[in-house]
Structures are given as structure tokens and as C-alpha cells.
């Protein structure tokens, strides 16, 4: 039995107003969320560098292991992954850092290293030039204490 036309339900789609309201709400949510996500990526990179060059960081531990086995800090960071050609090669027991990519910070810049330790007396200086890529600026991440 067929229903009369007045009782038939007609399926309707969304109105233009409803679609615009949903799109507007999504745009509003994105306006708040995107800046927070962008900022957190930079913060995560800074934390990665701090973890690598800190006292218990992977790079600092590799440098200390080299000193323990060889008797002095490496002349340059490449000595951690490649056998040096100096007399130290006799004592060198093998990659102290597994991958040469560990010698670069998250911004794809080489870590800066000073075996003599002008900031860390009796130790070594190790730092990243930070997000701006310029040495000696406020965003440098260092392994010595600063007055920040």
C-alpha cells in the first residue's frame, strides 16, 4: 500500500547554513591548535639536543668512553665513529657512537666541540648553535652552566 504524498518523508541534505557553521567551527579549532603544534616541535628539538649533550647524554657518554679507553678526549667528534689515523688508533676499540648522523643536531648542523674545555675546566665543551644556526646567540644549547 502506497502512502499518500503528504505522509511521505522527504530526505533532505544539509543546508548551506549548517555546512558554513561546521566549517567555521573547524577553522576556529585549527586556529588554536596549529600554533601550539608548531611551537611544540621546536621545543622537542631543543629537548633532543639537551638529552644528547647533557652529562648523561649519548654524545657526552661517547666522548667520555673515548677518554676512558684512549686516555684523552677525542681531537674531533669524527673520532667517535671513524678510527683515528694517529697513535690513538692502537687503543681505539670501535665505534663509540654508532651513526655519524649523531654528530648533527636536529637542525642538521654539526655539533660544536672543544676538547680543551674553555667553559668546562678539566672537561670538554659541546654545544649546538640552535634553531637560528648562528654561533654565540641566545638560542645556543650548551653543556656548561649559563646565567639564563
Distance CA 143, CA 148 (A): 13
Give residue 93's pLDDT.
Answer: 83
Q: Are 115 and 134 in contact (CB under 8 A)?
A: no
β-strand partners of 126: 113
Give residue 11's pLDDT.
Answer: 63
Give residue 106's pLDDT.
Answer: 93
Q: Are 26 and 34 in contact (CB under 8 A)?
A: no
Q: What angle do CA 139, 141, 143 make, to 5 degrees?
A: 150
Q: What's the pTM value of the predicted model, to 2 decimals?
A: 0.71
- Per residue of the chain (148 residues), what is the pLDDT tens digit? 566 666 666 667 888 888 999 999 999 988 888 877 777 888 899 999 999 998 888 999 999 999 999 989 999 999 999 888 878 778 888 788 888 888 899 999 999 999 998 888 889 999 999 999 999 898 999 998 766 5
Burial of 14 (0-12, 13-18, 19+ CB in 10 A): exposed
For CA atoms 103, 104, 106, 111, give the dihedral sign. Answer: positive
Give residue 99's pLDDT.
Answer: 82
The domains of the chain, with CATH numbers, are: 19-142 (3.30.700.10)
Give residue 4's pLDDT.
Answer: 61
Amino acid at each position: 500500500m502506497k502512502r499518500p504524498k503528504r505522509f511521505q518523508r522527504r530526505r533532505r541534505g544539509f543546508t548551506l547554513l549548517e555546512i558554513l557553521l561546521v566549517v567555521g567551527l573547524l577553522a576556529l579549532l585549527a586556529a588554536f591548535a596549529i600554533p601550539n603544534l608548531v611551537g611544540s616541535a621546536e621545543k622537542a628539538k631543543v629537548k633532543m639536543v639537551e638529552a644528547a649533550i647533557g652529562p648523561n647524554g649519548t654524545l657526552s657518554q661517547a666522548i667520555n668512553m673515548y677518554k676512558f679507553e684512549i686516555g684523552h678526549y677525542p681531537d674531533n667528534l669524527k673520532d667517535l665513529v671513524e678510527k683515528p689515523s694517529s697513535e690513538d688508533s692502537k687503543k681505539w676499540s670501535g665505534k663509540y657512537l654508532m651513526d655519524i648522523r649523531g654528530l648533527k643536531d636536529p637542525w642538521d648542523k654539526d655539533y660544536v666541540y672543544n676538547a680543551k674545555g674553555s667553559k668546562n675546566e678539566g672537561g670538554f665543551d659541546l654545544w649546538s648553535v640552535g634553531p637560528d644556526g648562528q654561533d654565540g646567540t641566545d638560542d645556543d644549547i650548551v653543556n656548561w652552566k649559563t646565567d639564563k
